Copies of this chain bind each other. A is one copy, B any other.
Amino acid sequence: MSNIRDVAQLAGVSVATVSRALQQPDLVSLKTRTKVLAAVKQVGYKPNLMAVRFRSGKTHHLVVLVPTVANVFFARVISGMQQAAHDKGYSLLLCNTLADETMEQSYARMVHTSQADGLIQLRAHNPFAQLEMKTGSVLPMVNACEVLDRIACPTVLLDNRAAACAMTEHLLELGHKRIAMIKGPARSPLTRDRVAGYRDALDAAGVAFDESLLYPGDFTLQSGHQAATELLALANPPTALFCENDEMAIGAIQAVKQQGLKLPQDISVAGFDDISFAAFADPPLTTIAQPAEEFGSTAVNLLIDLLEGRLTKAPKVILPFELIQRASTGPAPAVSD
């Protein structure tokens, strides 16, 4: 590879002049600038970004911690991140944490070893409090999709409480009284918020909250299937299943059908996220649409703003949701008992 010295030699100028000709053309006379550019072209010079970044101390890399890229919603978020990062000259270092804390810590350390400038995490159970204290330095971090309570950190999120409330209201309006919620892992703030929204709606409608209708899943198709199977086996089964993501809803739909029930006549199922498969489920899934790509781009832009010193406070950006009504939800069946 040709370097700046080759160009300087060919153009008959110093390396400083070459650098200036490329970085601050105004400081260089037209004549030399032309010479330099010609030389650059002739030797096919491309600045060694490794060197540039080493010198500047900025890697222009962003670590992205994602629990699992296999999740369709996350895939969309990542897609949005990618686009935004590329537009601003940054690259993404993708890290599939598999929800493993050791792995998360290991990846977060990339920021401290100058492999990346900052970090974005999706669905964080574990804020990097420990890590920060240990090193003493603050980790430039942005949180997406899930709030971190304990740490003031720029965040982009949905009003999960309001969204869950809206969906629950939708089901209540259809006459459902026994609405089960297939939620996420117990400790997740995201799940906590959605459960809160669910309860808000129940309370407002004067429907009693039943702990046994709350079933923890893990956002996979299988877990939705299992949850639905167990909920339907209850002595007094629910007439509606509100799932915290579409994968679980699609899994639940299969379980419901296997029990010989018809959707939405016998039971309603609702999801969350509006992944592409939602519209192709049978019946098509009623769900909450989230602007997934926008989550990604916003998170990236927030992080870049943070890194480049344009952020004074830690903003919380709230993106809008939309309830998409499809055929998987319908009027509650007539009471039989």
Name A's B-contacting residues (CB within 8 A): 1, 44, 46-51, 53-54, 57, 59, 61, 68-72, 75-76, 78-79, 82-83, 86, 91-96, 103, 109-110, 112-115, 135-137, 220-221, 225, 247, 250-251, 253-254, 257, 276-277, 279-280, 282
Could you list 20 A-B pairs, sorted by A, with CB under 8 Å?
A46-B113, A48-B113, A49-B113, A50-B50, A50-B54, A50-B115, A51-B114, A54-B54, A69-B69, A69-B79, A69-B82, A70-B72, A72-B75, A75-B75, A78-B94, A83-B96, A86-B95, A86-B103, A94-B94, A221-B277
- Expressed in whole angstroms, the minimum distance between the Cβ of A2 and any Cβ of chain B is 11
Taking a contact as CB atoms closer than 8 A, the residue among B68, B110, B254, B257 that contacts A79 in the complex is: B68
Chain B residues contacting A94 (CB-CB under 8 Å) are: 78, 82, 92, 94
A50 and B48 form a contact (CB under 8 A):
no
- Expressed in whole angstroms, the minimum distance between the Cβ of A122 and any Cβ of chain B is 13
B135 and A44 form a contact (CB under 8 A):
yes
A49 and B276 form a contact (CB under 8 A):
no
B112 and A280 form a contact (CB under 8 A):
no
Where chain A touches its partner, the secondary structure class is helix
- Expressed in whole angstroms, the minimum distance between the Cβ of A255 and any Cβ of chain B is 10
Residue of A68, A79, A135 ringed by the most chain B CB atoms within 10 A: A79
A280 and B79 form a contact (CB under 8 A):
no
Taking a contact as CB atoms closer than 8 A, the residue among B44, B48, B282 that contacts A257 in the complex is: B282
- Expressed in whole angstroms, the minimum distance between the Cβ of A248 and any Cβ of chain B is 11
Chain B residues contacting A112 (CB-CB under 8 Å) are: 1, 46
Provide the bound-state CA to CA distance between A72 and B51, in Å: 37
B59 and A50 form a contact (CB under 8 A):
yes
Chain B residues contacting A282 (CB-CB under 8 Å) are: 253-254, 257, 282
